[in-house]
Amino acid sequence: MLTYEPDDTFAHRLDPRTKLAVQIGFAATALAHPTPRALFVLSALAGLVMAGAGVSLRRTLVAYRFALLVLALAPVLSGVTLGAPWFDRAAATASGLASYRVLLVLLVSAAYVRSTPVRDSRAAIQRTIPGKPGQLLGIGVALVFRFLPVLRGDLRTIREAMAARLGTERGAVDRASTIGMLGLSRAFDRADRLSLALQARCFAWNPTLPPLAFSRADYPVLVVAVVLACSAFI
């Protein structure tokens, strides 16, 4: 699985906002230009980004294997026709290029994931998105991070308990609704306890924000992000 890994690469030292800007610029221009020439340049750039974040190509491809399956299937589906000539090379090529740009965008976002701890992302959200939505999204991301393993444990326990009681012999609807109902009621119990703790600790709209500052390395990278975003329109 693709996650944050502590390291000391160039990307690890960048401000999360810079890295978000690069991804958005890269995605915009990749989506706008599914041409061989543009994709050639973007491939080189994606390679640089991955090297800058210490991302392993093989592991990233494994992490995105399900998406890759669809990306590989799309050109085949596009190419196959129901009558002569049975395979339309032009349609398959267009779809193949379109799929390839998606792969590049995935690789670039893997660099962000590997190099950015949740704490930094939360700070970036709280400092970039103004007002109440920014505060709720920032704290919300921290809460999802905190509760993800807890709820995974809940779901696993529920499934094991069902299996132990011959749950595999029950109908699929029955099983899905049992997992859903138990999962939901446990989640709500936890949420209601969490909300007491948030209230008791004075959950506020205007807290002291987590520290975050651009360094000198960020500025040239931000320029690259802006150039990428602008190139989407040419």
Partner 1 sequence: MIEFQSVTHAFDDVLVLDDVSLTIDDGEFVLLAGANGSGKTTLLRHCNGLLTPDSGAVRVDGTPVEDDLIAARSSVGMVFQHPRDQFVSATVGADVAFGPENLGLERDEIDRRVAAALAAVNMAGRGDDRIDALSGGEQSRVAIAGALAMEPTHLVLDEPFTGLDDPARRSVLERLASLAADGTGVLLATHDLRDVCELADRVIAMRDGRIVVDGPPANVLGDLDGLDVRVPSE
Partner 2 sequence: MATNQTSVERVDDAVVRSFARAAVLAALMGAAAVVGSIPIPFSPIPVSLGVLVIYLMGLYLGPVWGPASAGLYLTAGAVGLPVFANGASGIGVLVGDSAGYLWSYPIAAALIGLIVHRGTALRDLRSVRLPILVGALLAGTIVIYAMGTAYMAWLLEMEAWEAIAAGALPFIPGELLKIAAAVAIVRAGRITSVRP
208 binds, among partner 2, partner 1, none (CB under 5 to 8 A by kind): partner 1
Residue 148, both tokens:
């993800």
Phi, psi angle pair for 3, to nearest 5°: -145, 175
Restricting to residues 84-113, name those near partner 2 by CB under 8 A.
Answer: 91, 94-95, 98-99, 102, 105-110, 112-113
Phi, psi angle pair for 107, to nearest 5°: -65, -40
Restricting to residues 151-190, name those near partner 2 by CB under 8 A.
Answer: 151-152, 154-156, 159, 172-177, 179-181, 183-185, 187-188, 190
Residues 6 or more apart whose Cβ sits within 8 Å of residue 146? none
Does residue 188 interact with partner 1 by CB under 8 A?
no
x/- mask, partner 2, residues 12-41, rule CB under 8 A, reads --------x--xx--x---x--x-------
Which of left, alpha, beta for 212 (phi over 0: left; psi -120 to 50: alpha)?
beta
Does residue 82 interact with partner 1 by CB under 8 A?
no
Please check whether residue 25 is in contact with residue 226, taking contact to mean a CB–CB distance below 8 angstroms. yes
Q: Which amino acid is at 103?
A: L
Does residue 209 interact with partner 2 by CB under 8 A?
no
Summarize as ranges the residues that interact with partner 1 (CB under 8 A): 118-119, 139, 142-143, 145-146, 149-150, 189-190, 193-194, 196-204, 206-209, 211
